[in-house]
Structure 1
Amino acid sequence: MSLSDALLDVRPLRTSPVFRRLLFGRTVSVLGSFMTMVTVLYQVWDMTHSAFWSGAVGVAQAVPMVGVSLFAGAWADRVDRRRLYLTGTVGSAVCSVLLAVQGFAGHAPVAVVLVLVAVQTSFAALGAPAAGVFVPRLLPKDQVAAGLALQQVSGQAMMLVGPAVAGLVLGWWGIGVCYLLDALSFALSFYGAYGLPALPPEGAKSRPGIHGVLDGLRFLVGHRVVRGALVTDLAATLLSMPTSLFPLVNEERFGGDPRTLGLFLSALAVGGVAATAFSGPVTRLARPGPVMLCASACWGVGLFLFGLTTSAWLGLGLLTLAGAADALAVLSRTTIVQTRTPDALLGRVTAAETIVGQAGPHLGNLRGGLVAGWSSGATALIAGGLMCLAAVTAVGVTTPELRAAGAAAPGEPPATAPTGP
């Protein structure tokens, strides 16, 4: 196998100018979003010096994401997804402009800042299910996984770069400029999506309100491959998310050196970027089901071994491998969702996937903190890794359809959207 075959598959960039423009706009917007995330945390802490209010930032982001996403998914399955995404983008940009105004004019009350964050997150949750249909509608079936990998690696790169850029801008020009740059990034995201064709649902439109949401949930319960992918992801993050344990493990094992803690946090991201950059064989293989199961199991094993090690360098290596496994699992999960879901349901299923991807890590960090409080950080890591491995094994054993799942669903009857009365 040549090096070009091992590297990220870039065929979508060559074959689809529309995808290129969309990816560029999305990448810049993700950079701006990470800058705003850091800036909000900095501003709230600077105003309050309170861990309670800093924690409230996460609540202001998580609650709207969960509360809005499912209904936004049903809406995305009734209307032109392009127009819905543009609406969410404009709303997010307006919130960034308002944050910039209060930043330039002097700090608004912290409650106002949190309300603006919650409203902006609601607009993001509105646009996310619509964006979930773009790649499978714009690219040929055999390039969907490659397009998703390109989106993932660009997002991971911005996750590494965004906080550092935010720190520099905050130091040089202050919070107002950070928020304003985020608003400008949404303008580029708008440009990237504006040239898309109209993307109405293919097939029966979603029923309005709660009925449409329930139709989507019934599909998730009934489709064993998609359900298995989401359950696998939720098990991996809920049972073994390690981030909240890093400070404690660093204190227990490595003397509390802040440089070691920073490297722990970076190692997962470095592994993720590297794995996605060399994901060509995985995306060309077109077998996301087995890849997801193996990668999720490796995530659990990596964290189990990290809990056992007393060597900082070996620990960093294990975290890098765990980050690589996580990136491949996420890429496989997204590929399964976007290639195995009927277009008429894709908005709702993407919304459920977003909730799993957002809520799972938060709850997993909470679980890890509670277990560590009763025992130790190392014990929480070891137990979490073993539980993750057991849960992934159970899903694999009980879901043979997921073990055999390819992106194009060979041999499986086409999934159909439920129809209402």
Structure 2
Amino acid sequence: MTEHDPSPSPPDPLPAEAPAQAPAPGRLRALLPDLTPWRSSRDFRRMWMAGLVTVFGSFLTFVALPVQLKELTGSTLAVGAIGAVELVPLIVFGLWGGALADALDRRKLILWTEAGLGVLSALLLLNTLLPHPLVWPLYLVAGLVSALTGLQRPALQSIVPRIVAHEQLPAAIALNTMRWQVGAIAGPSLAGVIIAFGGLQWAYALDVASYAVSVLFTIGLAASPPARDADKPSVRGILEGARYAWSRKELLGTYAVDMAAMFFAFPNAVFPFLADDLHARWALGLMYAASAIGSLLVSLTSGWVSRVHRHGRMVVGAALAWGAAMALAGWMGNIWLVLVMLALAGAADTVSGLFRSAMWDQTIPDELRGRLAGIELLSYSVGPQLGQVRAGGMAALTNVRASIWAGGLACVASVGLLAMALPKLLSYDQRTDEHAVRMRERQARKPEVTEAA
């Protein structure tokens, strides 16, 4: 989560001539994450902490839910059906959540959906405490969680430019990405230990507690009301956001590139089979963690992000690197080299995500930001879901390694074609782009907000 701040000064530039005896510390500071949004915005700190707590708790349930389904049904089909149950609510309520984020107070929308997610985790806990836990509530709660996530995510994303200065948005995005990565690594790792030694109920109980803490942080956020002339949520409003996205070919390019990258080169579904093929079943957990580790390394050295202005080129270059790394991961027969390639792929995906988000947050008008965030939610949620279907289906027709390397090559080819078809994406420069300039001017006219506000 994040908030608004006037225009705090950027980090002090490095001296023109650093002392010869100490060049390394200066270079190190340039790589470290830019903490300016954290220091200058009280609301950003609150949202960041709330998000860290809930990401950790949510990953506990992310592991516990399929484990419980496996224990209750013993069916791989039953476990896999969770994805199908979650997909449709995420699409429908993601679009509607975007419209709500533009029409309602974004702080209230975040607060009430966060509380609702906590109640749903409590229902999972209660079901687990029954003498004979039921199966159907697991699917029901999974679908409802997906719906509430769809309602909340656009508000979470669209509130960021209100609480962080325009020039600090890339740094804020990097800090939020790092927060997610910490949870993605620590949450599943700890979940296995908690479930093994304490039982499923402790994983759900900690998730409930995480939502309680997050709600307390969110209550203290400043109000984030809609624009005075905001329309009521409607299908017409959603279509208006879609038309705006279509008119912005550079934004359209970011959606298309991400969808293509995920559809062709997201092979997580076949990792268990790849581990068998490489005679390294012990490395299955490392395969799932490798991309998150590579992603975290980028965030920990993200100080350079704010100094890059050609965001479209970075999105395309990183997507090409993602596909190439996945192709090499499928081609190689050594498990350690495969893990390295998966980590490189995760790093590339994070670079692409950072600059996609920077383009969106620095150029989309505030009155449309929620609806565009809903469209963005589709691009990065539907792609991986369909990518898993592609990976599994192609592995069945050929073999698992061919599914991975061929998908990586298809990713490279499709991203290259999209880049040629959408020249505005490659030419985008946030210093001169008319939409970015207009948003900077609009924020500069806002009255200054003090730290104590």
TM-score, normalising length: structure 1:
0.93
TM-score under structure 2 normalisation?
0.87
Instruction: From 104, 111, 114, give the equivalent of 1:86.
Output: 111
8 Å Cα contact 1:339/1:408 also seen in 2: no
8 Å CA contact 2:127–2:137 kept in 1: the answer is no
Q: CA deviation at 1:156?
A: 0.9
Checking the alignment, whether the CA contact within 8 Å between 1:26 and 1:192 is kept in structure 2 is no
Q: How does 1:301-340 map to 2 (within 5 A)?
A: 301-340=324-363
- Provide the residue aligned with 1:299 in structure 2: 322
8 Å CA contact retained: 1:89, 1:186:
yes
Alignment of 1:338-377 (within 5 A): 338-377=361-400
1:109-188 aligned within 5 A: 109-188=134-213
| Count of residues in correspondence between the two structures | 413
* Correspondence for 2:307: 284
Task: Kindly provide the CA deviation profile for residues 336-387 of structure 1, in whole angstroms up to 9, marking residues without a partner as x.
Answer: 2222211111111111111221111111111011112111222222221121
Q: Which amino acid aligns with 2:218?
A: A
Q: Which amino acid is the alignment partner of residue 27 of structure 2? A: S
The code of the aligned residue for 1:32 comes to G
1:222 has 2:222 as partner: no
Aligned Cα root-mean-square deviation (Å):
1.8
CA distance in 2, matches of 1:247, 1:178: 24
Verify: 1:382 aligned to 2:411, yes or no: no
Uncovered stretches (5+) of structure 1, i.e. residues with no partner: 416-421
Q: Deviations over 1:152-210 (max 9, x none)?
A: 11101111111122222223332222212111111222222222222123474245321
Distance in 1 (CA, whole Å) between partners of 2:201 and 2:36 is: 39
Q: Which residue of structure 2 aligns with residue 24 of structure 1?
A: 49
Structure 1 residues 245, 41: CA separation in 2 closer, same or farther (over 3 Å shift)? closer
Using the TM superposition, give the Cα deviation of residue 286 of structure 1 relative to its aligned residue in structure 2, in angstroms.
3.5
Query: What is the percentage of aligned positions where both structures have the same residue?
Result: 32
Matched, 1:13 2:38: yes
Aligned to 1:418: none
Structure 2 Cα separation of the partners of residues 8 and 207 of structure 1: 39
Deviation at 1:150, TM superposition (A): 0.7
Given candidates 255, 267, 272, the residue that maps to 2:290 is 267
CA contact (8 A) 2:98 2:371 kept: yes
Local SS of the residue matching 1:133 = helix
Q: Quick one: which amino acid aligns to residue 254 of structure 2?
A: A
After superposition, the C-alpha distances for 1:206-248 in whole angstroms (9 at most, x for unaligned) are 4532111111111111111111111110010011112123233
CA distance in 1, matches of 2:424, 2:177: 25
CA distance in 1, matches of 2:416, 2:155: 33
Q: Alpha-carbon deviation of 1:2?
A: 1.1
Q: What letter matches 2:260 in structure 1? A: A
Q: What is the aligned partner in structure 2 of residue 419 from structure 1?
A: none
Per-residue deviation, 1:407: 4.2
1:99 is aligned to 2:162: no
1:245–1:170 Cα change, 3 Å = closer
Is the contact made by 1:38 and 1:166 (CA closer than 8 Å) also made in structure 2?
yes
Change (3 A) 1:317 1:204: same
